[in-house]
Amino acid sequence: MPHSITKPGDDDVADGRKTSPHTLASPLNRRAATLYSRSTGPPPSPWPAAVRARARPSGPNPLRTVSASPFLVRDLVHSGSATVPRRQRRAAGAVSGRRLSVVARVYGYPPDHNAGSEWMLHSMLRPLAESGHRVEVWLSHPGTSHRPYEIDGVHVVPFQAGLDFVARAGRADVLVSHYENVPLVAGLARERRVPVVVICHDNFETSFHNAAGADLVVYNSEWIRRDGEIFYARYPPEFLPRRSIVVRPPVIAEDYRTQPGDCVTLVNLNADKGGELFWQIAAWSPRWHFRGVRGAYGRQVMPPPRLPNCEVVDSVPGHRMREHVYSRARVMLMPSLYESWGRVAVEAYASGIPVIAHPTPGLVEALGQAGIFAYRDDPNAWIDALDSLRDPDTWARASRRARARSDELSAARDLDLWCEAVESLGGPRSGRTAPAGAVPRGGSPTTIDRLRTSTLRWVRRMRDAGTHPSDADPRERCL
């Protein structure tokens, strides 16, 4: 088995039907809609209203400004790959010179919570643990596990056993978080002078806003990085992330490589992932067998009755996807409304399984030249693509392109860059209190007062000119 899980008591995994904290804001996920209810602006893409439920803080929309700015995120490391071969163990503290205590605070974690973001995080923490660092994950939401356990060397503390997280965070060398836990972790990091790492899995303004001032921001794709740069273009230097890198969701190809099966497969049957379209295609493609895998979040869309070519299986943890999903799949479908990357597609490519996908920016970047794209509002395009893939020669060509893309991504240095960046944050610190005269993270009081005064002056100028603030150039705001 590719992943080692050490867990007291019953080691069965959850069925994954609980709600994820970071799915799209839609009627299918009331918790996500509530989580981001305080944000006020759409992502910078012309998605339908279900995606545009995320909002921005009051004031002009910075995403209208795409011109160059001296405040663009600096020190970006470009990395053009994501799938990684089995890594060799690195010497602990290769950069910092010592073993670090890395503490993460997140909503859920494998094997109980099996969303793509959590498996990306695990793929990033795992090599740190293999390098000899102490890696702990403290959960912010009650799950099925009640006692601490280990998976691949990462120590996981469930919410029920982790009520002393705040005290533990103050003794960490590096803090890591994503999504709704970032404000808490960033606040603790400021107070205790602990470096903080924020992982951005999407381009929602709330994610970028919460990551402002972090010591390290990790974007999961180049298009998310680009949108982050646009967002931060309006920020003064005091509020910018200290450093940013791109780490595309790491996939160890050999953990997923298998002999393809004979089914058309969709992982996660909620409406935003294309559950309704999946069953429509099944009804018009009787020569294919369709296999839906329940997802880790969102209300799952079940097939209509009396469709003999349909099958639904329970949620599958990431370390069992090879045996229970990809060994049965002939073609993967990804008609997602929103994908910032596309981990399932990259996992399928390891076995040469063709993927038909809706062209979200993340899927276009992830699939590369091997992608077969069809718009989710055009069922006929999906049906015709599947008909074409029934031809053995056509499928074989698509399979070769998928394997070539997997091999192309396997030359990645993403995890090495990640480990070096984290280890560089964990150098010796003289103390837990800020040195005299240091400018606090987030800007000095003088800077904040100056920004407040200039903003009020700008609003009055817009009012006197009869211009609505949202129609003005955001770069005028701090003049």
pLDDT digits (tens, 9 = 90+) for 391-441: 999 999 999 999 999 989 887 789 999 999 999 998 665 344 443 433 444
Phi, psi (degrees; rounded to nearest 5) at 61 = -85, 110
Give dist(CA 121, CA 100) in Å, integer: 17
Give dist(CA 451, CA 117) in Å, integer: 35
pLDDT digits (tens, 9 = 90+) for 185-212: 999 999 999 999 999 999 999 999 999 9
Q: How high is the pLDDT of residue 280?
A: 96
| pLDDT score of 367 more than 90 | yes
Please report which confidence band the pLDDT of residue 4 belongs to, taking 50, 70 and 90 as the band edges.
Answer: low
Q: How high is the pLDDT of residue 114?
A: 85
* Two structure tokens written together for 265: 């497969």
| pLDDT score of 471 more than 80 | no
Give the mean pLDDT of 357-380.
Answer: 97
Give the mean pLDDT of 287-304.
Answer: 94
| Partner residues linked to 178 by β-bridges | 199
Residue spans of the domains in the chain: they are 5-250+415-425, 254-409, 445-476
Q: Say which CATH class 254-409 falls into.
A: alpha beta
Please report which confidence band the pLDDT of residue 266 belongs to, taking 50, 70 and 90 as the band edges.
Answer: very high
Give the mean pLDDT of 224-245.
Answer: 93
The single residue listed with the structure tokens 């009055």 is 460
pTM > 0.75: yes or no: no
The residue that leads in pLDDT, 341 or 88, is 341
∠ CA 308-312-314, rounded to 5°: 160
Nearest Cα to Cα of residue 423 among 144, 132, 225:
132
Q: How high is the pLDDT of residue 90?
A: 55
* Two structure tokens written together for 263: 């089914």
Q: How high is the pLDDT of residue 478?
A: 40
Q: How high is the pLDDT of residue 472?
A: 52
Lowest mean pLDDT, pick from 52-66, 101-115, 243-257:
52-66
The residue that leads in pLDDT, 318 or 199, is 199
CATH of the domain spanning 5-250+415-425, picked from 3.40.50, 3.30.390, 3.50.30, 3.90.190: 3.40.50
pLDDT digits (tens, 9 = 90+) for 62-77: 322 232 332 233 333 3
The single residue listed with the structure tokens 């001296």 is 70
Give dist(CA 232, CA 97) in Å, integer: 33
The residue that leads in pLDDT, 9 or 472, is 472
Please report which confidence band the pLDDT of residue 11 belongs to, taking 50, 70 and 90 as the band edges.
Answer: very low
Give dist(CA 330, CA 389) in Å, integer: 9
Give dist(CA 86, CA 329) in Å, integer: 24
Q: How high is the pLDDT of residue 322?
A: 95
| pLDDT score of 135 more than 50 | yes
Domains 5-250+415-425 and 254-409 share a fold: yes
